[in-house]
């Protein structure tokens, strides 16, 4: 019965969200709906282990410049978001294409996993925060190291976890 009620509430709120003008407002509303509808009863330790494993796999795919593996880990939604350097990139295909461009030059990630944090929002939504040193450079140019604080939202469906958003924040450290 609870699942039926949660599904009905989610459906109503999705209808309201569709009628809203701004996609970001719809996305936040849907995140809240998912949180409420799922009940949020996930085990924090299990979710942290899952998040660490998933994120480690994502970093490995990036460092291998494996655009196919990276793309397979991105949420299959036009709402998938990577917002970086003032540029909003939406959708799995567009985000994967942007990564492919970066892979033409130097691109290497070194996360500080000792500062890896997970916020469990629900059984199917987690938010991570971790500082990462990016070594990057355009093709033929010398690479530079920059530290960013990375926030990613993970969503789970019947097939597993996916990255729903990637938000790097420059020159920030956890305190």
- Residue 12 tokens read as 């109503």
Q: Is residue 175 part of a domain?
A: no
Check whether residue 115 and residue 51 sit in a common domain.
yes
- Flag whether pLDDT at 31 surpasses 70: no
Check whether residue 33 and residue 101 sit in a common domain.
no
Average pLDDT across the chain, whole number: 82
Check whether residue 71 and residue 110 sit in a common domain.
yes
- Residue 127: closest CA among 103, 161, 101: 161
- Flag whether pLDDT at 4 surpasses 80: no
Check whether residue 52 and residue 119 sit in a common domain.
yes
> Per-residue pLDDT tens for 98-108?
999 999 999 99
Instruction: List residues bridging with 135 in a β-sheet.
Output: 108, 145
Give how many domains the chain has, as a whole number: 2
Tell me the residue range of the domain where 139 lies: 41-170
> Per-residue pLDDT tens for 39-79?
444 466 788 899 999 999 999 999 999 999 999 999 999 99
- Residue 75 tokens read as 């949420």
pTM of the entire predicted model: 0.73
- Flag whether pLDDT at 34 surpasses 70: no
pLDDT of 24 reads 54
117 Cβ contact partners less than 8 Å away, ≥ 6 residues apart? 128, 129, 130, 174
Residue corresponding to tokens 């998912």: 34
């Amino acid at each position: 019965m609870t699942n039926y009620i949660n599904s009905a509430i989610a459906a109503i709120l999705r209808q309201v969200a569709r009628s809203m003008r701004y996609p970001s407002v719809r996305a936040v509303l849907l995140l809240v709906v998912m949180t409420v509808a799922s009940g949020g009863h996930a085990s924090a330790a299990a979710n942290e282990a899952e998040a660490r494993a998933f994120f480690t796999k994502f970093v490995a795919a990036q460092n291998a410049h494996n655009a196919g593996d990276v793309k397979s880990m991105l949420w299959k939604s036009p709402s998938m978001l990577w917002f970086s350097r003032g540029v909003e990139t939406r959708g799995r295909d567009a985000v994967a294409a942007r990564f492919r461009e970066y892979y033409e030059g130097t691109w290497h990630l070194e996360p500080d996993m000792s500062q890896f944090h997970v916020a469990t929002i629900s059984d199917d939504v987690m938010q991570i925060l971790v500082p990462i040193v990016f070594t990057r450079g355009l093709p033929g140019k010398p690479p530079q190291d920059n530290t960013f604080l990375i926030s990613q939202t993970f969503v789970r469906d019947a097939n597993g976890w996916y990255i729903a958003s990637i938000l790097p924040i420059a020159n920030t450290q956890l305190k």
